[in-house]
Amino acid sequence: MLENKKQNPTSLGEWDWEKIPVQTDSLVGRAFAPTNIALAKYWGKRDLSLNLPQNSSLSVTLARIGSFTTVEFNKNFVEDSIYVDGQLQKRTGSFLKKAKVVLDLLRQRSNISWYSQIQTKNNFPTGAGLASSASGLAALTLAASHALKCDISKEELSGIARQGSGSASRSLFGGFVQWDRGEKSDGTDSTAHSLASEGHWPLRVYVVVVEEKDKINPSTDAMELTRKTSPYFSAWVEYAERNVSVIREQILARDFLKLAISAEENCFKMHASAQAATPPLLYWTPQTVEIIHKVWRLREKGYRLFFTIDAGPNVVIFTDDLRHEDIKKELGEVKIIESKVGEGAQILEP
């Protein structure tokens, strides 16, 4: 028996990511999770299999940009499968591999061993240069835990999402989020938590899409290459952990101008450690550098904005300046995805 598609009651969109009706004898969970952008970045793992970071990190959750996911467990399924935008993904695909880590942890917790069928969709264009692993794995973790009726706190869920993709640990929460590196070797203290809610500081976010291609290197490989070959890696790790406290205080005090300097410095230091790897990891294009200069030029003129850049060429700009049109004009003929500080992941009830 198949269940008819329902309207999504949260106004986030229709149930249009579900191309295959779920079965009435399935355990089903649906969730939305937003993506996030780190101001104090995570770059380097202290444990590869548990996905434990060398340093803590801080991020901003982006409003309404993310992944819608349905997870359906059924005793008759013979394997786990994932459909992205209605397209069945390869068994060997990296998303399915990461998803299985999360699914296995939740199956263990719930004592339900059924396989699952996952249907997911991002509401940002594929190739927008935004990482979908953070929102995708966070939505999957929340939806699957709901389907299996696991009674788990959000912090603990973030530790499970972390094992699928590090940055996914932060997407469960809204606003400003801290992911602690943790000290324990089993990783149970390496979870994210809310630092301040989305109402704390209504910053505007512009994702300047420089290139629409997927990133050249999967982040795990790139982090490992940096750890193993970059002479600047240890300096980065030592700096990064200290810098989290600095950035945390600036966020809590809403000190925009100090945060502007610290967040850009953090971004440069992360990229410098990666650029010093052998072979070098250079994510920037000439246009990336051009946007950096435009941001600095605007700041010299008294506009309040700063940027950060993840493992790709796109530049993410934060501003509390109300002169939005001037800023966009100065950035020139570029594709911009606009957002603001948003809520965390949520369950979508049919």
Site residues, ligand PMV (CB under 6 A): 38, 41-43, 57, 131, 133-134, 165-167, 219-220, 310-311
Cβ atoms of residues 61 and 177 within 8 Å: yes
Sign of CA dihedral 35, 36, 37, 42: negative
Q: In whole angstroms, give the CA distance from residue 337 to residue 317.
A: 10
CB of 101 to ligand PMV, least distance (A): 13
Phi/psi at 214 (5° precision) = -70, 160
CB 255, min distance to ligand PMV, A? 21
Q: b/e for 279-288, b at 16 or more Cβ within 10 A?
A: eebebbeebb
Q: Compute the least distance from the CB of residue 317 to ligand PMV, in Å.
A: 16
Enter the tokens of residue 86: 């209605």
Residue labelled with tokens 């945060």:
259
Pairing of strands 87-88, 115-122: unpaired
Cβ 349 to ligand PMV shortest distance, Å: 28
In three state form, how does the secondary structure of 185-220 look?
A: CCCCCCCEEEEECHHHCCCEEEEEECCCCCCCCCHH
In the complex, minimum distance from the CB of residue 18 to ligand PMV, in angstroms, rounded to a whole number? 26
Cβ proximity to ligand PMV: between 72 and 310 the closer is 310
- Nearest to ligand PMV of 150, 222 (CB atom): 222
Nearer to ligand PMV, 30 or 98 (CB): 98
Q: How far is the CB of 46 from ligand PMV (least distance, A)?
A: 14
User: Which lies closer to ligand PMV via its Cβ, residue 31 or residue 281?
Assistant: 281
Residue 38 or residue 150: which is nearer to ligand PMV going by CB?
38
CB of 41: closest distance to ligand PMV in angstroms?
4
Kindly tell me which of 250 and 273 has the beta carbon lying closer to ligand PMV: 273
CA distance 297 to 318: 15
Q: What value, to the nearest 5°, has the Cα angle with vertex 171 and ends 182 and 178?
A: 35
Angle between helices 94-110 and 133-147 (to 10 degrees): 30
Q: Which is nearer to ligand PMV, 179 or 201 (CB)?
A: 179
Question: For residues 247 and 311, which CB has a smaller minimum distance to ligand PMV in the complex?
Answer: 311
Which residue shows structure tokens 């695909």?
93
- Buried b / exposed e over 172-195, threshold 16 CB at 10 Å, is bbbbbbbbbbbeeeebeebbbebb
Supply the minimum distance, in Å, between the C-beta of residue 325 and ligand PMV: 29
